């Protein structure tokens, strides 16, 4: 049985991959819960900023289809702003951050950082002590799902991350964990 966070992530993945609306019943069946639980999950996902529309035929994500790639990066906390700015300046949107902790397992959080203003807001929250980066619990190693309008833009982002020594190798055991 998956946790609520895992279930909501799966619902989002299913909606991103779907070519047609998905009913609450179908989402519930795929995740092993009732339609009512899916309705609650959709409400929570909306509060996190995911643009989900309810139609007569089911739920859809109200966003254009983008290319998405997962990057594993490594850096000190002091380079967080540089990393995020590099990605958004090249046309990427940092969808989330995830760490693979050896004790706690996978921990992720939505970011949806798409421009310099979002980067500054995020950095201000860090500076004022509202939160600390997840990378601190894994010695600087973390993952980002990044979306862009094309695979070519993601290729540019990957090259820039490598050039600036942010990119880290994803090991075979991590592929299954992420």
Please say whether the beta carbons of 167 and 73 come within 8 A: yes
Please say whether the beta carbons of 149 and 156 come within 8 A: no
Query: What torsion do the CA atoms of 42, 48, 53, 56 make, to the nearest 10 degrees?
Result: 10
Tell me: is residue 164 an annotated ligand-binding position: no
Q: What is the three-class DSSP state of 74?
A: strand
Please say whether the beta carbons of 72 and 174 come within 8 A: yes
Please say whether the beta carbons of 58 and 38 come within 8 A: no
Distance separating alpha carbons of residues 113 and 103, to the nearest angstrom: 28
Tell me: is residue 83 an annotated ligand-binding position: yes
Tell me: is residue 101 an annotated ligand-binding position: no
Tell me: is residue 78 an annotated ligand-binding position: no
Cα separations in angstroms, 143 against 38, 61, 69, 122: 27, 23, 10, 17
Residue count of the chain, please give it: 178
List, as residue ranges, the binding site for Ni(2+). Answer: 75, 83, 142, 144
Binding site, by residue number, is 75, 83, 142, 144
């Amino acid at each position: 049985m998956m946790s609520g966070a895992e279930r909501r992530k799966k619902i989002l993945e299913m909606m991103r991959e779907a070519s047609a609306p998905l009913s609450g019943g179908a989402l519930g069946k795929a995740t092993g819960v009732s339609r009512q639980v899916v309705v609650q999950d959709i409400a929570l996902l909306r509060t996190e900023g995911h643009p989900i529309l309810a139609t007569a035929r089911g739920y859809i994500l109200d966003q254009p289809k983008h290319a998405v790639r997962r990057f594993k990066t490594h850096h000190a906390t002091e380079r967080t702003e540089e990393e995020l700015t590099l990605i958004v300046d090249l046309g990427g949107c940092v969808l989330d951050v995830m760490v693979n902790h050896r004790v706690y397992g996978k921990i992720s959080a939505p970011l949806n950082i798409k421009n310099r203003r979002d980067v500054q807001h995020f950095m201000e929250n860090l500076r004022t002590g509202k939160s600390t980066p997840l990378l601190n619990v894994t010695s600087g190693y973390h993952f980002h799902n990044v979306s862009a309008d094309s695979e070519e833009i993601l290729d540019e982002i990957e090259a820039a991350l490598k050039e600036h020594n942010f990119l880290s190798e994803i090991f075979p055991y991590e592929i299954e964990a992420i």
